[in-house]
Structure 1
Amino acid sequence: MNLKCIIIDDEPNAVSLLEVLIAQTTQWQLLGKCYNALEAIDFLKKHTVDFIFLDINMPHLTGMELAGLLPKETKIVFTTAYAEHAAESYAFQTIDYLLKPITLKRFLAATQKIEAAFGRQVIMEKTEGKPDDDYFFVKSGKTLRKILLDEVLYFEGEKEYVRLVTGTEELLIYRRLKEIETQLPQPFIRVHNSYIVNTKRLNKIQDNHIYIGDKQIPVSDKFREGFMEMIRQRIF
């Protein structure tokens, strides 16, 4: 995937390492290297990038402070030697949070997350404006039951079948969760190997869990980025 990025970091060795990793493992265009926040602000006024690698601990203006000055839609991969800023970083359009020293294995995992994030964005742009079907049918014995999408709270995978939960009933569907996932429109999203949720019906998000009514549903590492990307679009 041909993406455009820049590196913002006051440590020359860290910049050089990222530059080598980008060159050797991706097809991305590294448009620039900035060694402080003011230099980065000036660069971004003149150039358009898809995302930025942003160090957190920089003098005068930290990476978090700089992120707060950038357009809300700016996608960021934070880089830092400190883990304690991870939760704070997700107030922004954060794709990943890389701890220094960055290893090749961890960088390759980050490239997959980055390209997956932009792949989802392309799909969303292609489907934007298309009307979604507001119902579907579920086979129950010899009957096809009509289910309104807005009434569905979540789907829970249980081995060979899926439990469909609404505000008033539960139904078993003898299909795999992955098959159902491919047929669902937004605002449904996979948050765990065992759960697809209707984001219209969630009440709150707290400590890597979401709450729909009285149900607490975990958000796994595998699906957290895609889920938070959707949620960030509605954070005021």
Structure 2
Amino acid sequence: MNLSCIIIDDEPDAVDLLELLIKQSTQWKLKAKCYNALEALAFLKTNQVDFIFLDINMPQLSGMELATLLPTRTRIVFTTAYSAYAAESYMFNTIDYLLKPITLKRFLSSVQKIEAYFAKYQPEQQPDAVQAQDLFFVKSGKTLRKIVLRDILYFEGEKDYVRLVTAREQLLVYRRLKDIEEQLNPPFIRVHNSYIINYEQLSKIEDNHIYIADKRIPVSEKFRDAFMDLINKKKF
């Protein structure tokens, strides 16, 4: 099966072994070898792959932390020397979990699992950006919480954190508002340096302010035209 992938691992020997196994055992196209999370994020911003091999224990940003920054539809095969992360890894769109050192027998088993997965599910038919009907997982403190996007009322930026607000709860997420904005499609729209709203949840617009539930949110001049263009398209 023709699939594309990248390897993300800070250990050159581990990268070389995976590259050899891929070349010897599959018809997959290895598009890149990334030796840290930031390099991987830069590559994935402008390139598409079917799935990634992702090491968990990396400096600066671990594989688990990187996984929270990726689009929710990113398919992952985790690689690690530790079994302790296995349960947590399946909070993401995980196809397999390979323990190092990776043997040929175990890799061939993973190949069968990966190709069986893609035989049933064609990711190219799905949009890259998060859609409103999707669920995704949010890391808040030490907990990964499942959230349905359509339930979100708004996001509010607070210094190095973003407050995610639904009708039932509020979560603090260690992300920049700009990073979250890049993963969202309508009905989410930026209306202020500190706010992204779900316009399907707003009740009224008055005096350059949006009302969602009991929250009064300002619409700044910077974002007003784009927001009103969207609203006017739906106005009778």
Partner of 2:19: 19
Separation in 2, partners of 1:122, 1:82? 30
Partner of 1:85: 85
Helix, strand or coil for the counterpart of 2:65? helix
Give 5+ residue unaligned stretches, structure 2: 126-236
TM-score with structure 1 length normalisation?
A: 0.52
> For each residue in 1:105-139, what CA deviation from the matched residue of structure 2 results, as whole angstroms up to 9, or x when unmatched?
0000000000001011049x7xxxxxxxxxxxxxx
Separation in 2, partners of 1:51, 1:122? 12
> For each residue in 1:137-161, what CA deviation from the matched residue of structure 2 results, as whole angstroms up to 9, or x when unmatched?
xxxxxxxxxxxxxxxxxxxxxxxxx
In the TM superposition, what is the alpha-carbon distance from 1:34 to its structure 2 partner?
A: 0.2
Moved over 2 A (4+): none
Separation in 1, partners of 2:5, 2:88? 22
Separation in 2, partners of 1:74, 1:117? 13
Q: Residues 140-219 of structure 1 correspond to what in structure 2 (within 5 A)?
A: none
Give 5+ residue unaligned stretches, structure 1: 126-236
> For each residue in 1:201-234, what CA deviation from the matched residue of structure 2 results, as whole angstroms up to 9, or x when unmatched?
xxxxxxxxxxxxxxxxxxxxxxxxxxxxxxxxxx
TM-score with structure 2 length normalisation?
A: 0.52
Q: How many residues align?
A: 124
> For each residue in 1:56-112, what CA deviation from the matched residue of structure 2 results, as whole angstroms up to 9, or x when unmatched?
000000000000000000000000000000000000000000000000000000000
- The one-letter code matched in structure 2 to 1:94 is T
Separation in 1, partners of 2:91, 2:75? 11
Partner of 2:98: 98
- The one-letter code matched in structure 2 to 1:38 is L
Q: Indicate the RMSD between aligned Cα atoms, in angstroms.
A: 1.2
Separation in 2, partners of 1:78, 1:121? 19
- The one-letter code matched in structure 1 to 2:8 is I
Separation in 2, partners of 1:80, 1:28? 21
Separation in 2, partners of 1:59, 1:41? 15
Separation in 1, partners of 2:63, 2:16? 18
Separation in 1, partners of 2:113, 2:66? 23
Q: Residues 4-153 of structure 1 correspond to what in structure 2 (within 5 A)?
A: 4-122=4-122
Helix, strand or coil for the counterpart of 2:121? helix
